[in-house]
Amino acid sequence: MPPDSASPRPDSTPAGLTQAEVRSVIWGAMLALFLSALDQTIVATALPAIAADLGDLELIGWVVTAYLLTSTAATPVLGKLSDQLGRRVVVHLCLATFLLGSVLCALAPSMLVLVLARALQGIGGGGLITMSQALVADVVSPRERGRYSGIISGVWAAAAVLGPTLGGFLTQYLSWPWIFWINLPLGLLAFLVIDRQLRRLHLARRKARIDYPAVVLFAAVTTAFLLALSWAAIPGGHLAPETLVALAVFLLGGAVLVLHQRRAAEPILPPRFLKDRVVGPLLAAIFLVFGSYLAAAVLLPTFLQVALGASPDETGLLMIPMMVSGTISAWRAGVYASRTGRYKGPPLLSLPLSIATLLVLGFTASLLTPIAASLLFMLVGLGIGPIFPMTMIAAQNAVERHDLGAVSGAVGFSRALGGAVATAAASALVLGLLARRLSGHLESLEELVRRALSEAERLAVAETFGVLFFATAGTLALGLLLFARVEVRELRGDRPIMGRTPPPRG
């Protein structure tokens, strides 16, 4: 049947796009993804200047935390809404929210206003992450998506590397508000690149009532859990009143949410995802694997500087091999998936490399040089990289087209939640072990970096990180076992119908 006479179905492929237009959608989606990923890291090097300008040092940590909280909570909600309202509406909403938050951040007259603006910015940023994945799935068949995994992984790696560097450059040579002003031209460019093609996507909307109470409840429960996690990670904070209140809100609200979602016609995270023999194990596996990876990446600078004596400038360079190796192995895994139609092999073969390398790091933590540690972490990244594109490709392949936004949001949420839980747990483990071995009170890892330590204390730090590497290897092993349970389903090769049709009216 010719493209312009085909009636769109929920599981049909989008009609009316040429190959050049497909590439335009993908590049626009990648630019939107870069925007969100960049704002997770660009603020870090500007925090001292922000604190000096706005004061309220007790709130400075929330400039980063507020963004992560709201972006995590928004990820599955906006993914589900895009299945119901259409991608174009939600992409516009996310970009507008993100850019409005950026403007308010740049103009913030106080630290409190900045934190609130970052929370608003995070809502848009979390949605952009989900929309970028869903848009690629809309215009590329499951089997072909692997070819774009290198681009997606490269965007994340570029944001991680460029964020702190760009933030420091803009703060030093202009002023800290420019780390937010720079989002405006990038956001407008993403809008212009992607909007014309979004008008041409013939994607059927779900005729279902939006469950606004569930949206609010889900966001509140997720935020309460992450707040409790953040406060509990502070030494002695697990019994603090604010931690207990947040935990109570999470438990009570979570129970209400579960009961509500069981009766809902269109749940935010459909229970059928958890029952599916592909999606269910994938969500559990990526929770553990990405959590392990992020915890290691976040704590690696402390290990390099405090235990091994690397300078801050050297630390940034020493972390690049891990990010680059993960990007390369993710890209190669994606190419394999596109050629063979299979997705389980690369992670099953590569994850044992990461586990073995982390065990070596655990045994040799006190003997390493900074360069040797960097090379070992390059192997960790090489081993973990393939599972990231494979989980998204396999999950999207397992559902109907009308669930692409929801399942993309579910995978993104599982990754973000795993990262938050693992990072908090890893930080608490390191601080708890060091509290017994170092003199004086230790509040945070940042304080550990600033403190002058003797050689014996540096050795204690190295041995403590050795314990962390062992724990991370164990968590990765559990993630590998869960991924091994994922059912094998050949990737579909149904390509989008190419051709030109007039855009839909209205």
Query: pLDDT (tens digit, 9 = 90+) per residue, 151-199?
Result: 787 787 778 777 777 887 888 788 888 988 988 988 888 888 777 767 7
Confidence of residue 499 (pLDDT cuts 50, 70, 90): very low
Q: What does the alpha-carbon distance between residue 197 and residue 188 come to, in Å, rounded to a whole number? A: 15
Residue 192 lies in a domain: yes
Q: Are 32 and 128 in contact (CB under 8 A)?
A: yes
Task: Tell me: do 153 and 284 sit in the same domain.
Answer: no
36-50, 105-119, 475-489: which has the minimum mean pLDDT? 36-50
CATH code, 186:
1.20.1250.20
Rounded to a whole number, what is the distance in angstroms from the first to the last CA of the chain? 25
Residue 495 lies in a domain: no
Residue 437 lies in a domain: yes
Q: How far is CA 403 from CA 28, 82, 309, 396, in A?
A: 22, 9, 49, 8
User: Is residue 259 scored above 60 in pLDDT?
Assistant: yes
Instruction: Identify residue 467 by its one-letter amino acid code.
Output: V
Task: Tell me: do 327 and 441 sit in the same domain.
Answer: yes
Task: Tell me: do 39 and 131 sit in the same domain.
Answer: yes
Instruction: Give residue-wise pLDDT tens across range 272-310.
Output: 888 889 988 999 999 999 888 888 887 888 888 888 888
Residue 206 lies in a domain: no
Task: Tell me: do 410 and 328 sit in the same domain.
Answer: yes
User: Is residue 204 scored above 60 in pLDDT?
Assistant: no
pLDDT score for 103: 93
Helices (H), 303-435: 312-340, 345-364, 370-384, 387-397, 404-435
pLDDT score for 2: 36
Task: Tell me: do 105 and 221 sit in the same domain.
Answer: no
Q: Are 75 and 125 in contact (CB under 8 A)?
A: no
Task: Tell me: do 230 and 140 sit in the same domain.
Answer: no
pLDDT score for 501: 35
Task: Tell me: do 239 and 105 sit in the same domain.
Answer: no
Residue 67 lies in a domain: yes
Task: Tell me: do 52 and 82 sit in the same domain.
Answer: yes
Residue 493 lies in a domain: no
pLDDT score for 5: 35
Most confident among 201-210, 279-288, 289-298, 491-500 (mean pLDDT)? 279-288
pLDDT score for 469: 94
| pLDDT above 70: percentage of residues in the chain | 86
Instruction: Give residue-wise pLDDT tens across range 62-97.
Output: 777 788 888 888 888 888 887 777 788 888 889 999
pLDDT score for 353: 95
Pick the last residue of a domain from 176, 198, 220: 198
pLDDT score for 504: 35
User: Is residue 208 scored above 50 in pLDDT?
Assistant: yes
* Phi, psi (deg, nearest 5) at residue 61: -65, -25
pLDDT score for 99: 92
Task: Tell me: do 291 and 261 sit in the same domain.
Answer: no
Instruction: Give residue-wise pLDDT tens across range 377-406.
Output: 999 999 998 998 888 888 888 888 777 778
Task: Tell me: do 422 and 409 sit in the same domain.
Answer: yes
Task: Tell me: do 217 and 184 sit in the same domain.
Answer: no
User: Is residue 311 scored above 70 in pLDDT?
Assistant: yes
pLDDT score for 493: 64
Residue 502 lies in a domain: no
Residue 6 lies in a domain: no
User: Is residue 233 scored above 70 in pLDDT?
Assistant: no
Instruction: Give residue-wise pLDDT tens across range 98-114.
Output: 999 999 999 988 888 88
* DSSP 8-state assignment for residue 506: -
Question: Which H or E element spans position 230?
Answer: helix 212-232
Task: Tell me: do 163 and 305 sit in the same domain.
Answer: no
Which residues constitute the domain of residue 296?
Answer: 269-488
**Tally of CB atoms within 10 A around 328:** 17
* Count of domains forming the chain: 3
